[in-house]
Amino acid sequence: MKAQNPQRTTVMAGPWLLRRVIHRSRQLSDDVTTLHASFYRCQCHYATTVTDGYNNKNENEKSNKWFTLPPFTATVNGVALGREIAGVETENSTNNMTALKWIQRCFPELPKSLVQKLFRLRQVRRESANVEEQKPKRVSAKESMNIGDRIFLPITVEKSPSEKVVDYPSSEEERKFVHRLELYKDPEIIVVNKPPGMPVQGGIGIKRSLDELAAKYMRHEYSEAPRLVHRLDRDCSGVLVMGRTQLSASALHSIFREKTFGTQNEDIESKKRILQKKYWALVIGCPRRSGGIISAPLGKLVLDNGKSERITIMSDVRAPSAQYAVTEYRIIGSSEKGYTWLELSPLTGRKHQLRVHCAEALGTPILGDYKYGWQAHRKLKHLHLPTSAVNLGVQITRQKTDPFNLRLGNGSISDKQPHLHLHCKEMVLPNISLALQQAQAVSDADLADVESIKLVAPLPYHMQKSWDCLSS
């Protein structure tokens, strides 16, 4: 049998029934809307509560991811202090500290390259003390610090390695040699008698340098390594000043810098010289005058397609590469054998200034300077040392060790290839230690007339032997 399909019945609802259904559906819709709104409010409240808890958790985790430096306090500005000592008017010698310098002062063992990288990656924050909202914001390296500001660094800097320096094994022989170089030491500076042949600063092809040895053997319980504030050529010897702290180094560097620019802008005869340097040099030949002032601009010449360079006197003072250079000189001794002892006082600090002025301006190159006086060395006749000088050389070889193979007993006027005879014998500079004490004790202290200290370095062995040879 076939199943029968059910019949569909259509019922027509009356108007009253239709109105009731519509009313009932509106009431149900209002209830659903009310329920949905209540559920939405509950859901928003729950989301807000969870979000606030998540944010608080993030803030706690964030605080654990930052290394906080001490709040910035008013400090003496080394650069402004140096300018004030040099007689240059400055607006303020305090509170001129950038974010980069504050990090270096609080965290000196942190490599400078890493600090600069953190600034480039915008990972350094500053919390300002001058606003109510204590929210750290990104800060650039050159932005000035205000009193109470705090710097935040990534917590990973605590585990960052120090500057990658080749760590040579410590040697008692080296330590004694380096300590014998010390001429003067106070809380702010350390002065050494640099030996000839030792480079001042490391670089390509340089295994051991004076700044590396000072960092290893001359800290004297200081956390910071001594810092260079001026330079001496590798083959030059004599007084070399280093700052024991970043503050003293900044002040000294400013003084050396202002010495050059002050000489250029002022009358060199009437200008008070707060920094005086006197070199002794043995030159080939004899200047026409017994003394005077050399004012000859210097410039750089590039040779061999950039492979080498040399400094020379520029004929055109207006040339872009010309640098103002002034040297005062006087004869302190002459010899019938064709040599002259000169005292040289550089009033500016240009590269190879004394060597070029002696060779090109005076026509008397320094003995042992094969770069600027090679032609004069071809005609030299070697002299024989007196017995006293020979004995001195033997005594030096026996008593003084030379762990760096500098050949300190060789290179005199009697040797076939003399070493450079240029020595920074004397230096007079302001007492930075006393100046810093006065600046920290009195905010408006007058530092223009701070007392000076005089430093004297004895001649190196090869120059002393040449002196004895020419004096006999």
The catalytic site residues sit at 233
What burial class does residue 272 get, using C-beta atoms within 10 Å of its C-beta: 0-12 exposed, 13-18 middle, 19+ buried? Answer: exposed
Q: Which residues make Cβ contacts (< 8 Å) with residue 394, sequence separation at least 6?
A: none
- Separation of alpha carbons 66 and 151, rounded Å: 9
Helix (H) or strand (E) holding 453: strand 452-456
Copy the structure tokens of residue 323. 């640098």
Site of tokens 């050159």: 142
Neighbours of 86 (CB within 10 A): 23
Q: Which residues make Cβ contacts (< 8 Å) with residue 57, sequence separation at least 6?
A: none
Copy the structure tokens of residue 352. 């190879």
Copy the structure tokens of residue 284. 């080939």
Q: Report strand pairing: 66-68 vs 150-154.
A: antiparallel
Strands (E), 195-338: 227-228, 237-243, 276-284, 291-295, 298-303, 308-313, 326-334
Q: What length does the chain have?
A: 472
Site of tokens 């240009």: 350
